[in-house]
Every structure is written in structure tokens, then in C-alpha cells.
Amino acid sequence: MSIVVPARNEEFELGATLESVRAAADALGQPWELIVVDDASTDRTVEIAQRHGARVVPVELHNIGAVRNAGARAAQGERLVFLDADTRLPPETLRAAWDAMESGAVGGGGWVQFPDVGPFTDVIAWVFCFIWQRIGRWAAGCFIFAVKADFDAVGGFDETYFAAEERYLTEALRERGRFVLLREHVVSSARKLRLYSIGHLVWIAARTLLSGKHRLQQREGLEILYDAPRESGG
């Protein structure tokens, strides 16, 4: 199994994410490798990745689907897990993903939880996740897994998209076989909920849900997904 973590200037979040990966993978008890795909970071991302035993794949792509695909090409495992650099992976979630692929699923995703947010913000985040995952039946991009042969057969993530690329991968994999959305969850950083206004986030979410494909194939207007400020220990 290959766990692929795309990262760009993630020194504040990456260490805790990789610690969660190691704990989950060790608990699973299966052969695994950790790949961090560094997208031209200018901070300590590479140093932290190497300190946690990751194989670092350097790229300069600034397209999340392309960055994940670079990790998949470097992967040696027959099963892929894509995890965002600010997302923690509980052992029971990785176990459920492994079991799903063991039982014949071509891929899947899991529920997303956000820590440290206020009640109103928590409701907004829950509503978006419910629409995306329970109504749309699409995996969340921060955690998605797939059998590598099936991932390769559909061409991986469509690199013409700068947002919602996980939606189109979900649909492509579903055409090949059973795609599951787990009850188990990952815990993703709530930094965008802290750094941006609710109104701005709702606008971005609505655009991602409702825009035509051509709007999602332009980086303009999606800067929050690529050039958002990073939090620091201070």
C-alpha cells in the first residue's frame, strides 16, 4: 500500500499528519510506503517529510490533481491512499479502506470532521460535507483511496481541473466497479474556516458544487485552494 501526501508549504501541519499515518499504517500490519509529493515548497516541508521517513517526490505543478498523480506514478504499492497534508488519519479509517479494497471495491473515501470550529461554522461545514458526500456520493479530496490498477485504468485525477477533481475521479472509478463511502472519518484542518469569512467560503463551495466544468478548469477564482495563507506556530 502506498500513502501519498501532496504538500506545498505545510511545515505547520505536516508533522502531525505523518505521525497519524505511521500510527495507522503500523496498526494495520500490512507492507506500506509513505510518499510526500512536494510542490515547490519554500519552507521546511521537505525536511519534515524526510524526518518522518517519507520518500519525497519533488514537483512544480501547482495543480492538486497533477501533484497526486505524480505520487501515484512513483508508488510501488497495489493500493493507493491519498491524504492531504493537513488531514489526520485514524487507524480505524485506514483499516476500513483496506478492508473495502480487500472485499473488491475499486476505491472510496470517508467522512470528514473538522476540529476547533464554532457551532455556526460547524453546521456550515457539515452541510457542505453532507451535500458533497451523502447526496453527490463523491469522495472528499482530502482522503480518497483506490486500487492502483483501477486508478491507472481511468487515467488518475483529471489534470484539467483545478477544483472538484475528486468528483470526476469518483465518477470514473464508479463506472469500473464498487466505490464506497466509509462511515469512518478523517480529521481535516479547519484553517480555512479560521482564515476566511463564512460568506467567502460559502461562495467558493457553491461555485465548486454548481459551476460548469469550464469554470473548474481555470485557476482564477480558486486561489483559496492554492494560495491560501498558512498558519504558523505563532
Residue pLDDT, tens place only, 210-227: 666 676 777 676 666 666
DSSP 84: -
Q: Is residue 77 included in any domain, yes or no?
A: yes
For residue 1, give the nearest of 20, 26, 19 by alpha carbon: 26
**Is residue 104 pLDDT above 70, yes or no?**
yes
| More confident call, 159 vs 198 | 159
- Average per-residue pLDDT in the chain? 88
* Cα separation, 31 vs 50, whole angstroms: 19
Q: How far apart are CA 59 and CA 6, in angstroms?
A: 10
What single DSSP character describes residue 132?
Answer: I
Question: Is residue 233 helix, strand or coil?
Answer: coil
- 117 occurs within a structural domain: no
Higher pLDDT, 180 or 116: 180
At residue 43 the predicted structure's pLDDT band, cuts being 50, 70 and 90, is very high
What is the number of structural domains in the chain?
A: 1
Cα–Cα nearest to 2, from 93, 137, 98, 105: 98
- Give the rounded distance of the alpha carbon of 27 from its chain centre: 21
Structural domain includes residue 72: yes
152 burial (CB, 10 Å; 0-12 / 13-18 / 19+) is: middle
Give the global pTM.
Answer: 0.86
* Identity of the residue numbered 165: E
Q: Is residue 221 part of a domain?
A: no
- pLDDT value of position 195: 67
pLDDT at 131: 77
Q: Can you give the CATH number for the domain in which 107 is found?
A: 3.90.550.10
64 pLDDT higher than 90: yes
Report how far apart the first and last C-alpha atoms of the chain are (Å, whole number). Answer: 36
Consecutive H or E run containing 79: strand 79-83
pLDDT at 234 over 60: no
Find the range with the poorest average confidence among 24-33, 70-79, 90-99, 181-190.
Answer: 181-190
Q: Is residue 204 part of a domain?
A: no
| 138, 67, 184, 55: CA torsion to nearest 10 | 160
Could you list the residue range(s) of the whole structural domain that residue 71 is in?
Answer: 2-112+138-189
Q: Which has more confidence, 23 or 118? A: 23
